Amino acid sequence: MSKIVVIGSINTDMVVRSSQLPFPGQTLMGHSFQTTGGGKGANQAVAAARLGAEVSLIARIGDDAFGKMSIENFKKEKINIENIYTDNDAPSGVAFIVVDDKGENIIVVAPGANATLNEKDIHDAEDVIKKADIILFQLEIPMSTVAEGIGLAKKHNRMVMLNPAPAATMPKEILHSVDIITPNQTEALTLTGIAVNDAVTAQHACDVLHGMGILTVIVTMGEQGAYISSENYKGLVPGFTAGVVVDTVAAGDTFCGGLAIAIAEGKKIKDAVQFANAAAALSVTKSGAQASIPMRTEVINLMKHVSHS
């Protein structure tokens, strides 16, 4: 079984569904409320676990009800929680999300204990990191912690995958050590200054990131699919249509978890992206973050029976 280590955030998502997204100063009446597990790190860990990997999560929670609920959820998903540390001074991370009837969302995150994940925590987990096939990072934890984790992963010659979300400018010395980067269009613009609208502009953005030392760049482009630029393949891999879009909260995280396990299993890059696209397509047909992430059997079934969008 492939071993994936995720170094990242844990949040509890509080989701209100409304007919539209609010304007500044506007009060809207929503029509439903849901509390679910979230945080980009946790979402990607759950995705990789449901899709068939042996997953360890390195993260921080607060000593509170949200933290305890997260731990129980990870146990159910069979995720290794040995390196999830409890912070006695900071609350667990939370996210407040509004989703409209089209599936679009706005999100405000209070990071809490995610912001205290530190370099010592990373080194305490070195035994887990050095045995992983892929180490997966995002940017809801301190940049210094990301840098420390990437450095430790490369010390042990482990593959590093970075999902540069939420969008942020990043030091070139960090990017130089990344093997695979998976920005969406917004994040690609932040990192490269290039607005990605199609395959041509996607390749231009990829070329900038290649110039920073990253060999494999995959730009996720929503319904269009994902654009790959690597040594062995360049081109747009179309997405799948799995049903009516309910919300897109965890689509990117599901894609990353799916991509990580597919690559860890030795799939060629185009096949790995097809698998990740299918997983992401299924996630948008359900509400919530972790609640929407599909199982491996669902993804395989979609790939067999449903055409690309």
Positions annotated as catalytic residues are 253
Q: Which is it for strands 180-181 and 32-38: parallel, antiparallel or unpaired?
A: unpaired
CA distance 28 to 72: 33
Query: Which 3-state string (H, E, C) describes the chain?
Result: CCEEEEECCCEEEEEEECCCCCCCCCCCCCCEEEEEEECHHHHHHHHHHHCCCEEEEEEEEECCHHHHHHHHHHHHCCCECCCEEEECCCCCEEEEEEECCCCCEEEEEECHHHHHCCHHHHHHCHHHHCCCCEEEECCCCCHHHHHHHHHHHHHCCCEEEECCCCCCCCCHHHHCCCCEECCEHHHHHHHHCCCCCCHHHHHHHHHHHHHCCCCEEEEECHHHCEEEECCCCEEEECCECCCCCCCCCCHHHHHHHHHHHHHHCCCCHHHHHHHHHHHHHHHCCCCCCHHHCCCHHHHHHHHHHCCEC
CA distance 307 to 15: 31
Our CA angle for 184, 207, 201, nearest 5°, is 55
